[in-house]
Structure 1
Amino acid sequence: MAKVLVLYHSAYGHTEAMARAIADGVRDAGGDPTIRRVAETVPEEQARASHFKLDQEAEIATVEELPGYDAIVVGCGTRYGRMASQMAAFWDQTGGLWQKGALTGKVGAAFTSTASQHGGQETTLFSIITNLMHQGMVIVGLPYSFQGQLRLDEVTGGSPYGATTIAGGDGSRQPSDTEIAGARFQGRLVAETAARLA
């Protein structure tokens, strides 16, 4: 049974919802998912004034726990077409793991949320994937065998590089059924790939 960490940062709950869907996909494949989030770096007063979702259930992750998983799926919202600083700050602490090759050969994957269709989904996924590749991880994306990302009848996220959702500029749009299905598909594929590599 593949042990899979779903590691995320979510300011408004969109990425959190995608993380839960990825964990569901891991379970579908017989894997053992753990959902953790990275610490919020925005001062609490400012976060509350910006209406951040601060009541998230997931515990805060530690760098030290990462080697205990067979796969790590990383998700965060985009900030100007790149990984959110909260997630970057977490990965900036993993130099010791990189030096020991502690994550080499493990499965890695990425997912994200943007305000708009063209808000930097793919560049954000690549900014996450770059960190995972530097750690020597084997990357699993969201292949086109997930037919949902080929839809033309609705606005939807999704990329061969990872599951995505579109939140809307005011955050009012929640992940669609298609986007949740994409996240679940990717979670399942991550668990299946990790089990094959074990």
Structure 2
Amino acid sequence: MTRILVLYYSSYGHVRTLANAVAEGVRTVPGTHVEIRRVPETVPEDVRASAGFIEDDTATAAPTDLADYDAILFGTPTRFGLMAGQMKQFLDQAGGLWARNALVGKVAGVFVSTGSQHGGHEATMLSTQIALQHFGMLIAGLPYSFAGQTSGERIIGGAPYGAGTIAGADGSFTPNATELAGARFLGAHVASIATRLVAGAARLQAA
């Protein structure tokens, strides 16, 4: 089985919703096993409550867990065009994996949520990918074979660099059908690439 992790941080639930859709997409690819985990929260509980953050009982991951998977999809809200601090702190603790090249050759994808169309949506995808490439991961974006990319009927999240949703300035929007379809497509796309790489490695090992 090709093991795939969907790892996310979500303050208000938008990224968590995308994470579940990404996992749905992974499950459509035969021979895969997917797990959903979140990164640990760093905001004090009283601040979370006053800011209206969601309660989230999804199990957390540890940085060392990343080495156990063949592909990882990272989900984060935008913080001024960058990944959320919680995700950055998580990756900053993965130096041991970097030192032993534990993530080299694994497939990675990114999905994000921003308050507005021009609120750092694509910048967050691209800046997150920079960190992943330092680990030696292979980046899979959201290709134009996903037809929703070219929709002009409404403002939608997502880009060639990953899946996404627009939350609205007050967070009142929820991921729409096109955005959820993009997340599922990304999950299936990453899973398909990962399964082929795993199968190819197995054939080489057996030769």
Which TM class, normalised by the smaller chain length? over 0.9
Task: Name the structure 2 match of 1:32.
Answer: 33
The separation in 2 between residues aligned to 1:177 and 1:117, in whole angstroms, is 17
One-letter identity of the residue aligned with 2:42 = T
Is residue 186 of structure 2 the alignment partner of residue 183 of structure 1? no
- Deviation sequence 1:30-80 (CA, Å, 0-9, x none): 2211000011111110110000002x2320111111111000100110001
1:127 aligns with 2:127: yes
What amino acid maps onto 2:67 in structure 1?
P
Give the secondary-structure state (helix, strand or coil) at the position aligned to 1:59.
coil
Structure 1 gaps of 5+ residues are: none
Does residue 97 in structure 1 map to residue 97 in structure 2?
yes
Give the alignment's TM-score, normalised by structure 2.
0.94
Identity value in percent: 52
Q: 2:44 matched to 1:48?
A: no
- Secondary structure of 2:8's match? strand
Residue in 2 that maps onto 1:110:
110
Counterpart of 2:15 in structure 1: which amino acid?
T
- The SS at the match of 1:174 is coil
**1:1-198 equivalences in 2 (<5 Å):** 1-30=1-30, 31-54=32-55, 56-198=56-198
- RMSD after superposition: 0.7
Q: Could you report, residue by residue, the CA deviation over 1:126-171 in whole angstroms, capped at 9, with x for unpaired residues?
A: 1211111000011100001001011001111110000010000111
Q: Once the 2 structures are TM-superposed, how far is the Cα of residue 4 of structure 1 from its aligned partner?
A: 0.6
Work out the CA distance in 1 between the residues paired with 2:57 and 2:4: 18
C-alpha distance in 1, partners of 2:33/2:130?
25
Query: Deviation string for 1:82-128 (max 9, x for gaps)?
Result: 11000000000011100000000000111100000111011101121
Give the Cα–Cα distance (whole angstroms) in 1 for the partners of residues 127 and 133 of structure 2. 10
Which segments of 5 or more consecutive residues in structure 2 lack a partner in the other structure? 199-207
Letter in 1 for 2:36: I
Higher CA-based Rg: 2
Secondary structure of 1:74's match? strand
SS of the residue corresponding to residue 186 of structure 2 reads helix
Aligned residue-pair number: 197
One-letter amino acid of the counterpart of residue 151, structure 2: R
Write out the 4+ residue segments of structure 1 that deviate beyond 2 Å after TM superposition.
none
